[in-house]
Structure 1
Amino acid sequence: MKRLAVYLKPFLPRMGVGISFKAVGTLVELVIPWILSYIIDDLIPLKEIRPVCLWGGLMIVCSLIAWGGNITANRMASAVARDCTRQIRHDLFQKISYLSESRVDAFTIPSLISRMTSDTYVLHQTVGMIQRIGIRAPLLLFGGIIVSLTMDPMLTLIMVASLPIVGVIVFYVSRKGAKLFKIVQKASDSMLRVVRENAVGVRVIKALSKSDYERARFKKVNDDLTEKERTAESTMALINPVMSLLLNLGIVAVITVGAVRVNNGTSEIGKIIAFMNLYTIV
């Protein structure tokens, strides 16, 4: 991470601008449910079209600001990730070019190829995600809680109660998935080694009529890599359905508790609708 920070240092001004756009877009996005609640609960009962149109227009403006801010921030994040990874690849290739034969044998050529390709691609994705999700997620979380507290503290407890469950599940699955992907990396190195040996020794393989043997050998390492990738991806794929389940259960709880509170006169319909939007965003 220290080395990555060194490579990111020249791009800090661009990252700061992109993060600012992302922060503005995210915060404005959180205001939209509050405006919707205000329109439904306070303006519509007045039966005057002018204030509804004015606040509705403000919602449209907020939507355009959020849309433009998020798109601009995502484009800048992708550009920073691209330029940073390009420099990392350049320096990595230069470093590999001057390695001694003993060091190359220690790393193995398949491993070095993998570091130049798949590993740098992972870094590219990481740098981009840090600028996109790394800023947006905390703002949505804490901003959503603050906005929801201003509308209905009781319903806020439902959203807050689900956060520890989601955190534990994501932590456990991610921790297990990280170990599995290390195994996948080793299997990928093995497949690259077989491919390289076949490419370099293709004349010898044909001369000795070992084509069938090498095909079977490649099939074995390829199937092994596929199986390990399937296991790792299946484990990581648990996050989305589990979070969707918790999200839907939370929305059901908001509707149920909200209906009771509206029936008792302690809440309003607009707040329930705004809460459902907030719950989906956060």
Structure 2
Amino acid sequence: MIKILKNLSVYKWIILAVIGLVFIQSMSDLFLPTLMADIIDKGVVRGDTSYIWKIGGFMLLVSALGACASIIASYYSSKAAMGMGRDLRLKVFNHVEKFSLQEFDEVGTASLITRTTNDITQVQQVVIMMLRMVISAPIMLIGGVIMAVSMDAKLSLVIVVTMPFLIGSILLILYKGVPLFQTVQKRLDRLNLVLRENLTGIRVIRAFNRETQEKERLKKANKELTDISIKVNKIMAFMMPVMMLVMNLTVVGIIWFGGVRIDNGGMQIGDLMAFIQYVMQIMFALVMASMMFVMVPRAAVSATRINEVLDMKPSFLDEGTEKADRVHGTLEFEHVTFSYPGAEEPALSDISFSASPGEITAIIGGTGSGKTTLVNLIPRFYDISSGTIRVNGVDIRKSSQDEVRSKIGFVPQKASLFTGTISENIRFGKQTATQDEVEHAARIAQAEDFISSMKGGYEAEIDQGGSNLSGGQKQRLSIARALIRKPDIYIFDDSFSALDYKTDANLRAALKDETKNSTVLLVAQRVSTVVDADRIIVLDEGHIVGMGTHQELLSTNDIYREIALSQLTEEEIA
């Protein structure tokens, strides 16, 4: 928690102003009972109306001063807390952007969302409370005790007797409740995960008539969070009644013994009333402290979860600053082996090949053979276990990730679009692209026809995730996004699977001229897509089991021939 609170250092002047304002407010609150005692003892008892008006007016001024200080303190404490929350969210987001896919897999997207939203909100709320109460409560507690003792030291023994009961009950409740806060946040993570899967996978759920089962899954996650939240709140709900009981019994005791002292002439009525108010202030200070004791542990859990993300080091960082442009458009794999964290067997083993500008290198193989894993290593989404990958003649580990990725036009297996216009999504590949460049990229990607048919054309809005487009339309926009970069290396990760054969053929024909000065790496399921490639790499269980042209592999490689026969007739193969 302390580590998170260090983010408040940029708001130190605001915090100092809040401390000053809260001090003024607390002192005015402590001064009011003394003034009230004066009014009763010197004004009401003696019938001095002018004195009542005089001190009453002064009390109004003190109250107004305290109220103004309280309002301004609330404004500035909120400003500091909200500012810290904004900075923290930005800090977490910027840090998460440096993660490799390995860290995303480890923490989970749903948990990262919860930590960036709910957890930071918890911290914000407790910071507002702390700025107000952590300063106010001690002043009110100590000041109230001093003023009460100065009023009547003997009567203060009532407070000494009741205070241990109050503090003991608060500590007992916290001892039972605080350990459950961690569970609450974990259950919230789980609910977020289930809800996110249901919303993003609604088409699949409906297609397989799984609505009932998914409702039950969400119901279970929701109930688990509800149950633990109710359990925590049941425990915490005891705090206020216990405190009110002790507080009221204390007041009864003070009135009882105070009445005796007034009867004996050892105390005045005004002093007794002031004494009761000081005791109430002491008790209220303890109430504020107890609220902090409830909120701080929960916020501390959230702070720990935020720190876990901020302390998580990316599995690899930029180790060099070499420019990846020694040789234009080359790609080399040299004895590359890669294993996913915790996996028993490598996903890829001893992969070696090279590709040059103007060449199309295709990768084909069965499901789970490692095709997507291989292309994910080139932009350094994951780091290799051994071997070397060179882009433009430079080891990708000796160049910055930004430098390597700037040379690559990547079209992922699953097309991912963003809310905004079609033009903005294509410009995602090159922000400075002109409208002519956008239209040219769309034309090459065979997207021009469907874009022109949409209302607004290139300014047509795309819904979240491209939900208002078909799979083929999304893939073509993803391809246009990569083409507009004019990179040295194009990576198409099964990017033509949602296209019909005619569009696929037209696209590949258009790509030939567009990519003639670049290296093209093409992952495909269709043999018809790779038949014209300069080099076809056949993968099987993470190993290269064949490499050559279509005709060479048909005559020498059983796995490739088996794939070809499953898709083409004997006449087409011949």
Q: TM-score, normalised by structure 2?
A: 0.48
SS of aligned partner of 1:154: coil
Q: What residue in structure 1 maps to residue 279 of structure 2?
A: 279
The root-mean-square deviation of aligned C-alpha atoms, in Å, is 1.4
Higher relative CO (CA 8 A, sep ≥ 6), structure 1 or 2?
1
Q: Please say which of residues 2-11 and 201-210 is displaced more in the overlay.
A: 2-11
The whole-number CA distance in structure 2 between the counterparts of 1:240 and 1:2 is 28
Does residue 116 in structure 1 map to residue 116 in structure 2? yes
State the partner residue of 1:243.
243
**Offset of 1:258 from its aligned partner?**
0.6
* Aligned residue type for 1:281: Q
Structure 1 residue aligned with 2:203: 203
Partner residue of 1:165? 165
Mapped to 2, the partners of 1:207 and 1:5 lie a distance apart of 48
Q: Map 1:258-269 to 2 at 5 A.
A: 258-269=258-269
In 1: Cα distance, 2:210 partner to 2:188 partner:
23
Partner in structure 1 of residue 99 of structure 2: 99
Q: What's the CA shift for 1:241? A: 1.1
Name the SS of the counterpart of 1:155 in structure 2.
Answer: coil
Q: Which residue of 1 aligns with 2:192?
A: 192
Point out the structure with the larger strand share: 2
| Superposed counterparts of 1:18-97, under 5 Å | 18-97=18-97
In the TM superposition, residue 175 of structure 1 has moved relative to its aligned partner by 3.1
Secondary structure in structure 1 of the residue aligned to 2:125? helix
Within 2, Cα distance between the matches of 1:175 and 1:91? 33
Residue 142 of structure 1 deviates from its aligned partner by: 0.3
Instruction: State the SS of the aligned residue for 2:154.
Output: helix
Q: Specify the code of the residue in structure 2 equivalent to 1:77.
A: S
- Give 1:266 shift: 1.1
Residue 153 (structure 2) aligns with: 153
Q: Separation in 2 of the partners of 1:199 and 1:98?
A: 27
Q: Does residue 3 in structure 1 map to residue 11 in structure 2?
A: no
Give the Å deviation of 1:43. Answer: 3.6
Q: What residue identity is the alignment partner of 1:228?
A: I
Task: After superposition, give the CA deviation of every residue in 1:177-207 in whole Å (9 maximum; x if it has no partner).
Answer: 2211111111111111111211222211111
User: Which ranges in structure 2 are unaligned for 5 or more consecutive residues?
Assistant: 283-574
Q: Secondary structure at the match of 1:33?
A: helix
Structure 1, residues 101-144: CA drift from partner, whole Å, max 9, x if none?
A: 22112112221111011100111011111111101100000000
SS of alignment partner, residue 194 of structure 2: helix
Q: How many residues align?
A: 282
Corresponding residue for residue 128 of structure 1: 128
Please tell me the residue identity of whatever aligns with 2:38.
Answer: Y
Equivalent position amino acid for 1:194 in 2:
V
- Supply the AA of the counterpart residue of 1:93: F
Residue matched to 2:139: 139
Shift of 1:57: 1.3
Percent identity between the two aligned chains: 31
**Is this contact kept in 2: 1:26–1:70, CA < 8 A?**
no
Offset of 1:39 from its aligned partner? 2.0
- Please identify the structure whose Cα radius of gyration is greater: 2
The structure with more helix, counted as a fraction of residues: 1
- Name the amino acid aligned to 2:74: N
- Name the amino acid aligned to 1:233: N
| Alpha-carbon offset, residue 245 of structure 1 | 0.8
Instruction: Determine the C-alpha separation between the residues in 1 that align with 2:219 and 2:142.
Output: 50
Matched to 1:136, the amino acid is: S
Q: Post-superposition shift, 1:83?
A: 0.6
Stretch of structure 1 that moved more, 244-253 or 92-101: 92-101
Letter in 1 for 2:203: R
